[in-house]
Amino acid sequence: MAVVNTILLWLVLTTVFNAYLMTLPRLDLKKGEFPEKFQIYAKNRIDIQENFECAAFSTAYVLRHFGIEADGFEIYDNFPSKLKTGYVYPKGIRTYLKQKGFKTIYYKGNISTLKRQISKGNPVIVFIKVHKKSNNLHFVPVIGYDKDYLYIAESLDYLVNCKDDNNIYNRKVSIDEFKKLWNIKNLRIPFYSNTYITIEG
């Protein structure tokens, strides 16, 4: 009984702590038609980060999508909810974009709901692992999809694996591989797999 109580206490404390740091994701339960493939073709550029700035670089990419010139390094210097380690949780992205007048929703969904959100025409910031066997986490803007792949504006140089002539995306990840990267649950964040942030101007 003591073990069960300890586990329950740990779950409660972890949930409360994560809700404060990250905000709680809303289940994306909406259904509806979306194209079999979709690509955002808005003019943009993809900048490369140096350390732990992926939240700021993803945010900067989204701002440029909406026509606001933004630099990831400058955003990172004053990013809200930044930990002493340099890491930023989803709450920081949402707080920053709210300050800029944008509406964000932090969702938990699946590949279909993610595709449907992308098909609305704005980049979706997704919370994934850097590598499927790593606990290091990473934010990326997803800007397109088809039957087999998701297309990403990647800010980590060593993860870039393709070149788009329009500089819209520089990484493509198979759906099967993406699902592994998207499974971020661990002892510290047991409920945050398959999450993403949608942004509306």
pLDDT of residue 10: 47
pLDDT of residue 7: 54
At 62-77, the pLDDT tens digits run 999 999 999 999 999 9
At 133-192, the pLDDT tens digits run 888 899 999 999 999 999 999 999 999 999 877 778 999 999 999 999 999 986 567 678
Rounded-to-integer distance, Cα 174 and Cα 149, Å: 4
Cβ partners under 8 Å of residue 12, min gap 6: none
Task: Delimit the domains of the chain by residue range.
Answer: 25-200
Question: Which residue has better confidence, 197 or 168?
Answer: 197
Q: pLDDT at residue 41 above 60?
A: yes
pLDDT of residue 155: 97
Q: What class has domain 25-200?
A: alpha beta
